[in-house]
Amino acid sequence: MFITAVLAASIFVSIPFSSSAETVELAQPDDISVSPSMNNLSLKAGDSVTIYLDIYNKFSREIVVYVYYDNNQDPDIDVGFPNGQRIPIKGTSMGYCELDISVDMYARSTDHALKFDIKINDPLRENTIEADASHSLMITVSSELSAGEQYNKIMGMIENHLPSPLNSPLATTIITMLIWVLIAVVVAYFILPVVIGTGKRAVNDTEKIMKRWKK
């Protein structure tokens, strides 16, 4: 009886120890790697292109990857996710996130760095975690409407700090044209008549002087 009781007690005590010893491995921030299908893109203002973020799951189990982009970080570039931002990827497998990138027709001619925030959700973890593989994509934009340092400046010199929508490149162009029209009106109706009148008087005075010399 004593031996039986001791064996039963040892089995009962060993049960919680064996279960607690079994630890579950969870996905970590460095368990994915990301690379775009195209990098250092060269686009013209008004162009659109579809690319893919290739995401490799180095973890042994399936995880869910979320890709986020804040369209407010660059008003010249718009990024859409036609197939959503949630990408389930099986263990040690490759997945991808489809991106539709559109460049505004009034985008400035410069380099644009698009930063993507990437999170990992392990089904066995309650919350998502930030991945180490957050990625930036560089896009070089060329535009016939952009004039380098004069971009979106009234008369090419004055920064447009008017409230929206008057601070857009189109509004800046219209304001610049109106200023040039105003300048042309002032020149045509005020300055030019004075210049012409002064020129006529100078000619008449010259003619009078020449007549006197002839006499």
More confident call, 204 vs 50: 50
pLDDT digits (tens, 9 = 90+) for 129-176: 999 987 788 999 988 766 555 566 777 678 777 887 777 777 888 888
* pLDDT computed for residue 52 by the predictor: 93
Q: Which of 65, 182, 164 is nearest to 118 (CA)?
A: 65
Which tokens hold the place of 91?
Answer: 């263990």
* pLDDT computed for residue 122 by the predictor: 94
* pLDDT computed for residue 20 by the predictor: 46
Give the 3-state secondary structure of residue 104.
Answer: coil
The answer, yes or no, to whether residue 207 has pLDDT greater than 80, is: no
pLDDT digits (tens, 9 = 90+) for 9-20: 555 555 554 444
Strands 63-68 and 86-89: antiparallel
* pLDDT computed for residue 151 by the predictor: 62
Least confident segment among 12-21, 27-36, 108-117, 153-162: 12-21
The CATH number of the domain covering residues in 28-144:
2.60.40.10
Q: Return phi, psi of residue 90, to 5°.
A: -70, 165
Least confident segment among 7-16, 68-77, 112-121: 7-16
Give the 3-state secondary structure of residue 133.
Answer: coil
Give the CA-trace dihedral at 164, 167, 173, 175, to 10 degrees. 80
* Interval 75-91 mean pLDDT: 95
* pLDDT computed for residue 24 by the predictor: 83
* pLDDT computed for residue 17 by the predictor: 46
For the chain, residues classed under CATH 2.60.40.10 are: 28-144
Let me know: does 67 contact 122? Beta carbons within 8 Å: no
Least confident segment among 53-62, 80-89, 181-190: 181-190
